[in-house]
Amino acid sequence: MAKFINSKYVREMGDITKNMYRQGWDERNGGNISYLIDEHLVREYFKKDKFIRDINLGFEADPIVRNKYFLITGTGKYFKNVKKDPETNLGLVKISSDGKVAHLLWGYKDGGRFTSEFPAHLMSHASRLKVDPANRVIMHTHPTYTICMGACLPTDEVVFTRKLWKSNTEAVVVFPEGIGVLPCMICGTNEIGIATAEKMKEYRIVSWTNHGLYGAGKDIDEAFGLIETVEKTAQIYMLTLDHLVNEIPDEVVLGLAKLWNLKMKPGVIEE
């Protein structure tokens, strides 16, 4: 039977964490990723469930994610190290049928556990799966320009979305539903998890003011693509701040939405 360490899921996690570290977004242990793997795919590596140990969740997981398998980065682990030692820096867990515990199948070799942000991840998976059954990935990172932009704007989704859409013509095309915004909160808590998951009902991308971004997608590429588009756009916004002459006109944003037949967040650009 093929070894899980050689699976495409472990390889993808190693590649993306390395890439994100190189972007300068994931200093030290910054950032975390969770990847839902369907049971029939897990079975290609584990004939049946054999758990190493149980890890308490500290909250009750939504029924939609119970009995599901997640590959997750470990708490305190550095993105730059995942590729060279996946079995220490990643773990594969199955959420228990009562939603209280994660059964460890593979990884966290040094006795570690999943990211401290697992409440926000698992609650966000639940929100996204209810609106998009194809969603598989939740990705959290600390992209510099997005954090700068959040610090310079009111915590207002219409304002944040408008600034992004009018800074880069790709922005409205990639996230027509806009961006969710949370104020500065204490991270690693169930409270920030609940608040993030509430936003994830409406948005695939959520900004944590003074902290970073949460992105969702059907695969690693999609979640990362969303985050890199927001970050690139935030960079354009910050570099042009106070120098701006040619802002994208409202008609161009509206024209792009029409061309691509997009359902835009209402109330951001007046028609």
**Least distance to ligand 13P from the beta carbon of 81, Å?**
12
Question: What share of residues in the chain are helix, strand, coil (percent, to 5)?
Answer: 40, 20, 40
Q: Which of 18, 30, 59, 96 binds ligand 13P (CB under 6 A)?
A: 30
Segment near ligand 13P (CB under 6 A); pick from 62-70, 112-120, 150-158, 228-236? 112-120
Cβ neighbours of 234 (radius 10 Å): 28
Q: Which is nearer to ligand 13P, 128 or 140 (CB)?
A: 140
- 122-151 residues in contact with ligand 13P (CB under 6 A) are 140
- Contact call for residues 208 and 192 (beta carbons, < 8 A): yes
Site mask, ligand 13P, residues 191-230, x = CB under 6 A? Answer: ----------------------------------------
Q: Which is nearer to ligand 13P, 31 or 215 (CB)?
A: 31
Task: Tell me if residue 140 falls in helix, strand or coil.
Answer: strand
Q: Which of 67, 75, 144, 189 binds ligand 13P (CB under 6 A)?
A: 75
- The string over 123-156, giving b where at least 16 C-beta atoms fall within 10 Å of a residue's C-beta and e elsewhere, is bbbbbbbeeeeebbbbbbbbbbbbbebbeebeee
Establish if 31 lies at the interface with ligand 13P (CB under 6 A). yes
User: What element of type H or E holds 66?
Assistant: none
CA neighbor of 94 nearest in space, from 60, 62, 71, 120: 71
CA neighbor of 85 nearest in space, from 27, 141, 18, 37: 18
What does the alpha-carbon distance between residue 173 and residue 233 come to, in Å, rounded to a whole number? Answer: 12
Q: Which of 7, 17, 20, 32 binds ligand 13P (CB under 6 A)?
A: 32
**Least distance to ligand 13P from the beta carbon of 75, Å?**
3
- 161-190 residues in contact with ligand 13P (CB under 6 A) are 187-188
- Of the candidates 12, 60, 117, 191, the residue annotated as catalytic is 117
Q: Which is nearer to ligand 13P, 81 or 116 (CB)?
A: 116
User: What element of type H or E holds 215?
Assistant: strand 212-217
Establish if 117 lies at the interface with ligand 13P (CB under 6 A). yes
What does the alpha-carbon distance between residue 208 and residue 3 come to, in Å, rounded to a whole number? Answer: 37
Three-state secondary structure along 67-112?
Answer: CCEEEEEECCCCHHHCCCCHHHHEEEEEECCCCCEEEEEEECCCCC
**Least distance to ligand 13P from the beta carbon of 48, Å?**
30
Q: Which of 7, 34, 115, 168 binds ligand 13P (CB under 6 A)?
A: 115
Q: Is 117 a catalytic residue?
A: yes
Q: Which of 116, 144, 155, 169 binds ligand 13P (CB under 6 A)?
A: 116
Indicate which residues carry an active-site annotation: 117
Binding site for ligand 13P (CB under 6 A): 29-32, 75-76, 115-117, 140, 187-188
